[in-house]
């Protein structure tokens, strides 16, 4: 049994590394496709980049439901990833910004009104949907279809805003559009393959050591699948694009709750009892409220980053300590 656990641990580690590289490949080339086709920065950060970085969560959730039947892992992963994104990723990003500036760094009005609106709308949806499901007590396929409809509708709304560049500005990049599309698809295939091995090895380890699936989904797998968001957001902040990092994270939270959770529920043959996720949902709502407050203050410092990282530490203690036998 120990040998099997070690082998699966190695598979898990290799899958996470491949998943990270594949997602990065997908993101880089999908952004190039977006620039050539003329979609604005809001759409790139909130939908395209966020959707690319959310591919691991999506694949893990799909394989969890269809392959293993562990819907608890899928739901816990979708909600838990939002906590990782807001607390850990933005916590690190805010500290990096604070180190680069001695005083509080302004977030707005450098961002356009529609960009600010997208951030607030994404946080609102990522908060109100889990809270509603927790109040109702269960979620069915119909709920999943409604969530997917919300995702498609807002995707359509954002895609209507385009900024076509001049031919001279694009240069020869326009000729490479097909190549970038192909590389994006290949990167997505790598994500799918690594996610399959990830869920298999993680489920085996969870079963072997007696950890409940909801904890594995909300912590270990959520951290692993959130690695692309962490890498992209930190890189964006280092290059001075704090707004891109914010739109990436909030967009990922929106996609996790609408698209990924929607697919999970639509693919599950049975209704899901949401009462088992009460602590997870409430913690997610609290973190979103903190981020909402930080955005409304329009400035960030090391205090905001420290608060978010402290909340992530509390989340880890609460997750593992609450299920200790």
Q: Strand ranges (DSSP E) for 79-193?
A: 105-106, 138-139
Residue of higher predicted confidence among 10 and 203: 10
Confidence at residue 32, expressed as pLDDT on a 0 to 100 scale? 77
The rounded mean pLDDT for the chain is: 78
The CA distances from residue 250 to 50, 65, 82, 111, 286, in Å, are 8, 25, 9, 14, 15
pLDDT at 109: 43
Average pLDDT for 86-92: 92
Query: Residue 308 pLDDT > 90, yes or no?
Result: yes
List, for residues 189-203, the tens digit of each pLDDT value: 887 788 778 777 877
- Cα–Cα distance measured from residue 48 to residue 172, given in angstroms and rounded to the nearest whole number: 22
Which residues in 32-165 belong to E strands, given as ranges? Answer: 105-106, 138-139
Higher pLDDT, 114 or 315: 315
The reported pLDDT for the residue numbered 271 is 77
In tens, the pLDDT along 215-227 reads 766 666 667 777 7
User: How far apart (Å, rounded) are the C-alpha atoms in residues 103 and 92?
Assistant: 17
pLDDT band at 158 (very low <50, low <70, confident <90, very high): confident
Is the predicted pLDDT of residue 151 greater than 50, yes or no? Answer: yes
Q: Is the pLDDT of residue 232 over 90?
A: no
Residue 240 CB: number of other CB atoms within 10 A?
Answer: 10
Residue 149, domain extent: 2-321
The per-residue pLDDT for 206 is: 76
CA–CA distance, 236 with 4 (Å, rounded to integer)? 39
Q: Poorest-confidence range of 54-58, 255-259, 288-292?
A: 54-58
Q: How do residues 162-180 score in pLDDT, each as one tens digit? A: 555 555 445 566 778 788 8
The CATH number covering residue 27 comes to 1.20.1420.30
Number of domains in the chain: 1
Listed range (75-79, 98-102, 259-263, 281-285) with the worst mean pLDDT:
98-102
Are 52 and 23 spatial neighbours (Cβ–Cβ below 8 Å)? yes
Q: How is residue 257 annotated by DSSP?
A: I
């Amino acid at each position: 049994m120990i040998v099997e656990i070690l082998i699966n641990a190695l598979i898990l580690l290799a899958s996470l590394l491949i998943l990270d590289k594949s997602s990065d490949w997908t993101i880089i080339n999908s952004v190039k496709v977006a620039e050539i086709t003329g979609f604005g920065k809001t759409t790139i950060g909130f939908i395209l980049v966020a959707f690319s970085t959310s591919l691991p969560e999506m694949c893990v959730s799909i394989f969890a439901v269809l392959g293993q039947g562990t819907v608890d892992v899928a739901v816990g992963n979708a909600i838990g990833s939002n906590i990782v994104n807001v607390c850990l990723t933005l916590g690190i990003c805010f500290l990096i910004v604070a180190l680069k500036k001695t005083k509080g760094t302004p977030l707005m009005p450098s961002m356009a009104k529609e960009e600010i609106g997208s951030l607030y709308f994404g946080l609102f949806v990522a908060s109100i949907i889990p809270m509603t499901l927790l109040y109702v007590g269960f979620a069915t396929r119909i709920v999943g279809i409604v969530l997917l409809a919300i995702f498609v509708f807002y995707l359509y709304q954002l895609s209507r805003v385009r900024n076509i560049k001049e031919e001279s500005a694009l240069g020869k990049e326009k000729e490479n559009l097909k190549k970038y599309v192909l590389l994006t698809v290949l990167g997505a295939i790598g994500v799918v393959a690594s996610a399959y091995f990830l869920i298999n090895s993680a489920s085996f380890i969870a079963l072997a050591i007696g950890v409940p699936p909801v904890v594995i989904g909300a912590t270990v797998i959520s951290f692993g699948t959130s690695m692309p968001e962490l890498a992209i957001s930190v890189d964006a902040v280092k290059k001075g694009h704090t707004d891109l990092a914010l739109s990436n994270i909030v967009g990922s939270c929106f996609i996790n709750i609408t698209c990924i959770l929607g697919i999970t529920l639509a693919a599950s043959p049975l209704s899901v009892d949401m009462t088992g996720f009460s602590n997870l949902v409430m913690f997610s709502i609290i973190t979103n409220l903190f981020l909402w407050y930080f955005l409304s203050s329009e400035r960030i410092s090391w205090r905001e980053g420290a608060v978010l990282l402290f909340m992530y530490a509390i989340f880890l203690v609460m997750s593992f300590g609450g299920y200790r036998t």
